[in-house]
Every structure is written in structure tokens, then in C-alpha cells.
Amino acid sequence: MSEQSHLLSKHKSVRDALQYAADHPEMKTAPIDTPVWELVARILFDIANTPNANVRGSMARATRAQKMITDRLVGNRRAGTHPVRAKRQQVTFVDLTAGKIEP
């Protein structure tokens, strides 16, 4: 196997990286030994699930991160097509409303 094809075999798509981070919440290796795709996916989940009410823009950043994750994992619709159908795929986020809105 050539060096370039060996390096490309370690890469993952954005969807695969996010799905891996969702399926494996705990890191198995030290951060220095973790692939970049896994670190980025974990940081995006961390931003989406741990907003700080004392930091300006933190809630907006968390909402934007949640939208990125759901668009990649669940999907979104193209203009002029029917709405996305519910699938078995579920993404669970922390409640950002602090219990003000009942489910």
C-alpha cells in the first residue's frame, strides 16, 4: 500500500466522525494520540451541550453547533421537496431552555 493511500484510509467523512463521537462519548486514547477528525467532532458536541450563560453568545454558539450536528446526522431538505421524514436516527442534546418549555 502506498503512503498516500495509507494516509487516506485514516480519514473519515464529517458524518462518520460525528456518528463516531456520538456513539463513543468517552475518549479511548490520550488527546495527543487521537485523530483530528475525532477531536473536532468531540469539540463540536462539547460546544453544543455545554453553553455558559455568563458568556455572551454562548447560547447562540450552542444552537448553531446543534444545527450543524443535526443537519449532518439527520439531514435537511432541499428547496421544493417534501419535509424530512422521521427516521430512527436520534440526537440528544442538553435542554438549553432551563426547563421553561415543557416537552
31 within a domain of the structure (yes/no): yes
Number of domains in the chain: 1
Is the distance from CB of 72 to CB of 18 less than 8 angstroms?
Answer: yes
**What is the C-alpha to C-alpha distance for residues 33 and 37, in angstroms, rounded to an integer?**
12
Separation of alpha carbons 64 and 14, rounded Å: 16
Is residue 84 pLDDT above 70, yes or no? no
DSSP 11-28: ---HHHHHHHHHH--S-S
Distance CA 27, CA 16 (A): 16
- Which structural domain, as residue segments, surrounds residue 91? 9-103
Residue 4 lies in a domain: no
Q: Would you give the DSSP letter of residue 96?
A: T
Report the predicted TM-score, pTM, of the whole model to 2 decimal places: 0.67
Residue 5 banded pLDDT, cuts 50, 70, 90? very low
Residue 2 lies in a domain: no
Question: Looking at the domain assignment, is residue 3 inside a domain?
Answer: no
Tens of pLDDT along 7-53? Answer: 456 788 889 999 999 999 888 888 888 899 999 999 999 999 998 88
pLDDT value for 83: 65
